[in-house]
């Protein structure tokens, strides 16, 4: 697994439309600068109006090289990089012990730069770079053995704090799912039977995924100007702890890898197409490469560290991607009219399928709480899996397997709950009659260097 390792874990790939908006506490930035006092009786020199492009550009270049250096000590850390090859080579000369101190030095240098003159994008860039330098330092401290509690870690790395687990909503979703799933036996047995009945046959999978990609791209082009040379390829793999990921290789090209170890329910094919490609991760990366890296020369966006606030926005927009291009009943209509026939399934089952998938998405929020319990100082795998099995549609055996993702990627699971909630909060807060459409607002999120804290209503800019 290299480059764009954005993962859609297991049956989380069934989640089509994140609909619950939880109240999130988003942390204020760290590293505030305290002005240095001047010598008594000597007037302070007049402040410059703004930092120069070279000053912040040098800090950004240093940040990129530090992220690449840190990636040598955690194979999952560098999610993608499409900057100069020479910078990767230069990063090899940076010793592990130098990364965190140099990150702190760059953060201080950034804080010491003159204030901005009011350009909104420049202000967003500066805040983005500062938060990501802070997260880089926290990652290196974690690698050096400094441990944080789950909530402290997600605050330090991702700029968010998750809300408490909603037991009431979870219980209601479980009861409704129990009433909808056909057949006899326990909930997890009937869920397993249902997924087997709705899976895409192996010899039809490529056709179904390509049809979903084509439709997702067509709908994305209605509100996003994509370069004509952009491209998505499919690749089928086995033996991974995730369901799918987008390997972004720069030059507007992605390879979407699909794990075919387990079952592929029909709805998951649509999620993969939207989440990983159109208008999800692929479009996110294409627009940032085109408009931020090439258009503005903002080199820090040529690298994506996995454990960072950037991942909250990336996963948040990707998790909302299906709802953006298949709003309302359009998702179920596309399933019934196109994907079900291609998979050899009965189109009349599509509406019920959609209702079940929406409930599964609500129940998937239990994954974050299970990861929280697993990663607690007194946590253990069996205890966390038992809790997850009681609060989801999974058997104990399936829950144990499901936790493999959290064991490898730790608190990254927060991006799949906090991310879509924040994106939905921001879209709803900025939608008004006569204003931009939801799709236009979504495209704006893909283009701007925002932090999770910016997506709360009182942080909208």
Please state the domain extents for the chain: 1-40+48-225+263-461
Q: What is the pLDDT of residue 432?
A: 86
Among 284, 296, 154, 306, which Cα is nearest to 220's?
Answer: 284
- Give the contacts of 210 (CB within 8 A, at least 6 positions apart): 234
Dump strand ranges (E) for 266-371. Answer: 303-305
- Read off the pLDDT band of 9 (50, 70, 90): low
Query: Span 376-400, mean pLDDT?
Result: 96
**Whole-model pTM?**
0.87
- Read off the pLDDT band of 29 (50, 70, 90): very low
In this predicted structure, the answer to whether residue 13 has a pLDDT above a threshold of 60 is no
Q: How crowded is residue 327: how many other Cβ atoms within 10 Å of its Cβ?
A: 13
- Read off the pLDDT band of 164 (50, 70, 90): confident
Q: What is the pLDDT of residue 179?
A: 96
In this predicted structure, the answer to whether residue 100 has a pLDDT above a threshold of 70 is yes
Query: Span 254-277, mean pLDDT?
Result: 94
In this predicted structure, the answer to whether residue 46 has a pLDDT above a threshold of 60 is no
Q: Which stretch of DSSP H or E encloses residue 96?
A: helix 96-112
**SS3 call for 245:** strand
Q: What is the pLDDT of residue 53?
A: 64
Q: What is the pLDDT of residue 425?
A: 93
The distance of Cα 245 from the centroid of its chain, to the nearest Å, equals: 11
- 323-347 tens-digit pLDDT: 999 999 999 999 999 999 999 999 9
- Residue 13 to residue 127: CA distance in whole angstroms: 32
In this predicted structure, the answer to whether residue 204 has a pLDDT above a threshold of 60 is yes
Q: What is the pLDDT of residue 5?
A: 44
Query: Span 250-273, mean pLDDT?
Result: 94
User: Tokens in use for 23?
Assistant: 């109240």
In this predicted structure, the answer to whether residue 25 has a pLDDT above a threshold of 70 is no
Query: Span 196-222, mean pLDDT?
Result: 97
In this predicted structure, the answer to whether residue 418 has a pLDDT above a threshold of 90 is yes
Q: Are 382 and 373 in contact (CB under 8 A)?
A: no
- Residue 220 to residue 66: CA distance in whole angstroms: 35
Report the percent of the chain where pLDDT is more than 90: 80
- Helical residues (DSSP H) of 307-414, grouped into ranges: 309-325, 330-334, 340-343, 350-363, 366-375, 381-390, 396-402, 404-409
- 427-448 tens-digit pLDDT: 999 988 888 999 999 999 999 9
Higher pLDDT, 13 or 285: 285
- 266-325 tens-digit pLDDT: 999 999 999 999 999 999 999 999 999 999 999 999 999 999 999 999 999 999 999 999
Q: Is the peptide bond before 279 cis (omega within 30 degrees of 0)?
A: yes
- Read off the pLDDT band of 115 (50, 70, 90): confident
- Read off the pLDDT band of 48 (50, 70, 90): very low
Average pLDDT for the chain: 88
């Amino acid at each position: 697994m290299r480059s764009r390792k954005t993962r859609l874990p297991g049956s989380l790939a069934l989640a089509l439309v994140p609909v619950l908006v939880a109240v999130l506490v988003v942390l204020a930035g760290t590293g505030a600068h305290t002005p240095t006092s001047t010598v008594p009786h000597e007037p302070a020199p007049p402040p410059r109006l703004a930092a120069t492009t070279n000053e912040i550009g040098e800090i950004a270049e240093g940040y990129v090289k530090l992220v690449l250096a840190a990636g040598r000590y955690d194979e999952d850390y560098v999610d993608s990089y499409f900057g100069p090859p020479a910078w990767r080579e230069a990063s090899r000369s940076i010793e592990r012990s130098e990364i965190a101190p140099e990150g702190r030095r760059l953060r201080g240098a950034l804080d010491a730069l003159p204030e901005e003159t009011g350009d909104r994008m420049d202000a967003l860039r500066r805040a983005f770079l500062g938060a990501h330098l802070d997260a880089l330092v926290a990652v290196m401290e974690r690698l050096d053995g400094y441990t944080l509690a789950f909530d402290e870690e997600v605050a330090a790395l991702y700029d968010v704090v998750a809300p408490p687990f909603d037991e009431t909503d979870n219980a209601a979703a479980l009861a409704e799912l129990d009433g909808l799933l056909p057949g006899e036996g326990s909930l997890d047995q009937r869920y397993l039977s249902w997924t087997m009945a709705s899976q895409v046959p192996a010899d039809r999978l490529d056709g179904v995924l390509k049809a979903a990609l084509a439709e997702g791209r067509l709908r994305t082009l209605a509100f996003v100007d994509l370069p004509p040379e952009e491209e998505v390829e499919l690749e089928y793999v086995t033996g991974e702890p995730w369901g799918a990921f987008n390997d972004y290789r720069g030059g507007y090209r992605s390879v979407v890898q699909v794990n075919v170890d387990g079952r592929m329910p029909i709805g998951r094919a649509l999620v993969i197409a939207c989440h990983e490609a159109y208008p999800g991760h692929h479009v996110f990366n294409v627009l940032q490469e085109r408009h931020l890296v090439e258009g503005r020369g903002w080199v820090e966006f040529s690298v994506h560290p996995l454990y960072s606030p950037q991942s909250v926005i990336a996963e948040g927009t990707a998790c909302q991607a299906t709802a953006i291009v298949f709003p309302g009943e359009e998702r179920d209509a596309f399933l019934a009219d196109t994907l079900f026939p291609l998979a050899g399934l009965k189109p009349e089952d599509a509406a019920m399928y959609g209702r079940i998938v929406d409930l599964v998405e609500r129940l998937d929020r239990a994954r974050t709480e299970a990861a929280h319990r697993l990663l607690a100082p007194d946590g253990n795998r069996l205890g966390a899996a038992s809790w997850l099995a009681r609060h989801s549609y999974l058997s104990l055996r399936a829950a144990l397997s499901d936790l493999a993702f959290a064991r490898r990627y730790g608190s990254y699971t927060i991006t799949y709950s906090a991310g879509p909630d924040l994106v939905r909060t921001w879209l709803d807060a900025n939608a008004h009659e006569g204003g931009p459409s939801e799709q236009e607002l979504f495209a704006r999120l893909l283009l701007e260097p925002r932090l999770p804290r910016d997506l709360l209503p009182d942080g909208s800019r």
